[in-house]
Structure 1
Amino acid sequence: MEDQAVCCYRHPDRETGVRCVRCDRPICPDCMVSASVGFQCPECVGSGSGTGQSPRANAPRTVAGGTVTADPRLVTKVLLGINLAVFIAVYFVGDSLVDALSLVGKAYDPRLPGEVGVANGEWYRLLTSMFAHKEFWHIGFNMLSLWWLGPPLEAALGRVRFLALFLLAGLGGNALAYLLTAQNMGTLGASGAIFGMLGGTAVLMRRLKYDMRPVVVLLALNLLITFTWSNISWQAHVGGLVVGTAVAYGMVHAPRDKRALTQWGTAALMLLAIAAVVAVRTVQLNG
């Protein structure tokens, strides 16, 4: 006889292995509120459950300590919208906009009086290239991945922490690409951030004791494609994966009494590492 799947009492379509420590009802990541021990459901937290505290003092929190919001997909939607808007602009403007947004270390542009690139002071390329795509298949794959991976991560981490993971993973991927690729090679796309979200999803699923096999298979498949297909920046993928995994680990494993210090300390450490990589490569190219 097979075991019957246990589903969240508020979201019957979502399987879960976590229960509220007060009422023992099963709860999914969207409904988990961190307690001193384990997790509580929103109803128990909102009522105070005999703690003598007001609902305001027991504001629902995500597994990472973020604020529970009515729309746990808002940041994901905004990021998706920015990517689509930039893609439409690139489609109509053409290669000149792609050249202006893409990640380039140092290159000569015949249309300008001098060189262009990150090493030439155009630091913004480390960020803008994360939102630029040229091919339909490229943006299609990345946006489907963003829409699939984003909402669960955003719900579990909270908006600010999720945005920090996305941006740091993207910057980490671009920093490694800047360090290891030819100085005049252009790189663009949100793939580094997407790989960071994959790493973050694996960390979150392990933290919640979910079945890891689906995300491990997905990650392995994406890494296989990364290292076997041509014209794919494996550096951006690996860099994003490493940074995203590290940031997510700091977010979901931070001790409750030192949560903010651990979480934002981890994020700051990753940002410093990214800055160091960029600084080293810039010195190499300008030396």
Structure 2
Amino acid sequence: MDQHQSAVVCYRHPDRETGIRCTRCERPICPDCMITASVGFQCPECVRTGSGTGHAPHANQPRTLAGARVAADPRLITKILLAANLALFVAVQAVGDKLTADLVMLGQWPHDSFYQPTEGVAEGQWYRLLTSVFLHQEIWHIAMNMLGLWFLGPPLESALGRIRFLALFLLSGLGGSALTYMIADPGQPSLGASGAVFGLFGATAVLMRRMQYDMRPILVLLAVNLVFTFTWSNIAWEAHIGGLVIGAAIAAAMVHAPRDRRTLVQSAACAGAVLLILALCVIRTLMLSG
């Protein structure tokens, strides 16, 4: 089979183009339908009817591209992340600046009168690296980030699986916070899920390349967002770049890992990202405390 031929549509989802076919029946299948087999991918019908590789029943359980079990709702984690962001946004609108001051990404408390007496990451409040990812103040800000999460999240969650997708989102957000902490003004607060969303951009580009899809749409969209990142005022570009790099790196490990060492490679990539984030934060804390 020539996988470089013109893309056709998935036999189960006519609105989705794909360049992948079932290794048994050669029907075209999209990421939601493809099930990892001993060689290539198979469609749900071939697995269900037992016309696949002939492995034991548990070996034929549907798997995502990254090796996770196919979930009944491939948007569950995306919905939970959306709900968490929206719930915190409502709480911020109700409580006001006090909650924002307690959760915003802040390297070191600048003793500005705007803030309630508090401290920053350099003074031990490392939780701000994560809480700030779910924190928004302006309606346009959360609207843009949640639109990005809603459009990019489900395809990635479907291809990676729930746990892997959640790890991708959280580590991308933490990567954005860590780079912001490392090189930005420590007294300048930042907030929002933009770093995590840029991580999803990077992961989507990696996934599309892995699936041999036309990458021009995602590359153009990413380029437009990067232009906005560096031209609009009051944007923490460090968070965008940090999230983008971490998201692309983790996604590459998840979709390109050898099948016989897939879990090991994926776990090592996530652990490496955690260690890098911790190293940046420790170095910056020592710099600000010295």
TM-score, length of structure 2 as denominator length: 0.95
Letter in 2 for 1:77: K
Q: Say whether the 8 Å CA contact 1:47–1:54 is kept in structure 2.
A: no
**Shift of residue 113, structure 1, vs aligned partner:** 9.5
Identity of matched residues, % = 63
Instruction: Please identify, of 26-35 and 208-217, the stretch whose mean Cα deviation from structure 2 is larger.
Output: 26-35
Within 5 A, what are the aligned runs for 1:215-234? Answer: 215-234=218-237
> Secondary structure of the residue that 2:188 maps to in structure 1?
coil
275, 280, 290: which one aligns with 1:277: 280
d(CA) in 2 for partners of 1:83, 1:111: 24
Unaligned runs of 5+ residues in structure 2 are: none
**Cα deviations by residue, 1:98-156 (Å, 9 ceiling, x for unpaired):** 11110001113669996500111111100100000000000000000000000000000
Q: Is 1:252 aligned to residue 255 of structure 2? A: yes
**Cα deviations by residue, 1:233-281 (Å, 9 ceiling, x for unpaired):** 0000000000000000000000001000101101100110000000001
**Shift of residue 33, structure 1, vs aligned partner:** 1.2
Q: Say whether the 8 Å CA contact 1:62–1:158 is kept in structure 2.
A: yes
CA distance 1:97–1:38, shift in 2 (3 Å): same
CA distance 1:178–1:53, shift in 2 (3 Å): same
d(CA) in 2 for partners of 1:153, 1:50: 25
Q: Say whether the 8 Å CA contact 1:87–1:133 is kept in structure 2.
A: yes
127, 132, 139: which one aligns with 2:130: 127
d(CA) in 2 for partners of 1:25, 1:258: 28
Within 5 A, what are the aligned runs for 1:165-244? Answer: 165-244=168-247
Alignment coverage as a number of residue pairs: 285
CA RMSD of aligned residues (A): 1.7
d(CA) in 2 for partners of 1:11, 1:110: 56
**Shift of residue 53, structure 1, vs aligned partner:** 3.1
> Secondary structure of the residue that 2:288 maps to in structure 1?
helix
d(CA) in 1 for partners of 2:6, 2:286: 60
d(CA) in 2 for partners of 1:122, 1:150: 29
Letter in 2 for 1:91: Q
Within 5 A, what are the aligned runs for 1:81-96? Answer: 81-96=83-98
TM-score, length of structure 1 as denominator length: 0.96
d(CA) in 2 for partners of 1:72, 1:151: 6
Q: Say whether the 8 Å CA contact 2:134–2:193 is kept in structure 1.
A: yes
CA distance 1:225–1:82, shift in 2 (3 Å): same
d(CA) in 2 for partners of 1:156, 1:275: 28
